[in-house]
């Protein structure tokens, strides 16, 4: 499924591949690559609330800020919440970036091998083979509680909205 002109990047329109997910949808499966080059899947976080931060590339200022902000917030969310950051960056570049930036509370993963997360979550930019900036909050039963695809890729995500969704799940006892 292609969604024409769904996002812009510096004003240029781009097509996204995959479904338009919304709150209430079942979270799609994915296969990502960890910094150790091992496969990571949705099942690896079973029973946890998942805040999935999707970024274009860690080599951009907005993506850098997004990851750093969620890294700072992650400690206050508790042990039943996992924060994931997904880009198409190579695992080696992600490892270098996280080590240099002191990212130690977010699990940063790569979708470079097969773009399964990007395609399954509807954030794969067809023309560029990059991911659109997005946030998905997934409850402990793997249902999407919050979904945001940022219309202009150089704009920031709604930090407050996504963190509020996580805190509401915690309050409802959605954690393991």
* Residues with catalytic roles: 63
* Residue 13 three-state SS: strand
Q: Which residue reads 């402990």 in tokens?
A: 140
Cα 21 to Cα 136: distance, rounded to the nearest angstrom? 9
User: How many Cβ atoms are within 10 Å of 42's Cβ, its own excluded?
Assistant: 19
150, 157 Cβ separation under 8 angstroms: yes
């Amino acid at each position: 499924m292609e969604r024409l002109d769904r996002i812009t990047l510096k004003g240029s329109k781009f097509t996204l591949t995959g479904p338009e997910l919304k709150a209430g949808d079942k979270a799609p499966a994915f296969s990502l690559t960890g910094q150790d080059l091992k496969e990571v899947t949705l099942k690896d976080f079973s029973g946890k609330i998942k805040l999935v931060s999707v970024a274009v590339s860690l080599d951009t200022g907005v993506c850098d800020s997004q990851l750093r902000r969620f890294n700072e917030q992650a400690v206050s969310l508790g042990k039943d919440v996992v924060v994931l950051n997904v880009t198409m960056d190579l695992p080696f570049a992600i490892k270098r970036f996280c080590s240099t930036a002191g990212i130690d509370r977010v699990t940063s993963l790569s979708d470079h091998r097969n773009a399964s997360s990007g395609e399954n979550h509807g954030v794969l930019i067809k023309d560029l083979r990059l991911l659109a900036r997005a946030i998905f909050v997934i409850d402990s039963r793997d249902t999407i509680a919050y979904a945001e695809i940022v219309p202009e890729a150089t704009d920031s995500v709604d930090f407050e909205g996504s963190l509020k969704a996580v805190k509401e799940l915690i309050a409802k006892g959605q954690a393991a």
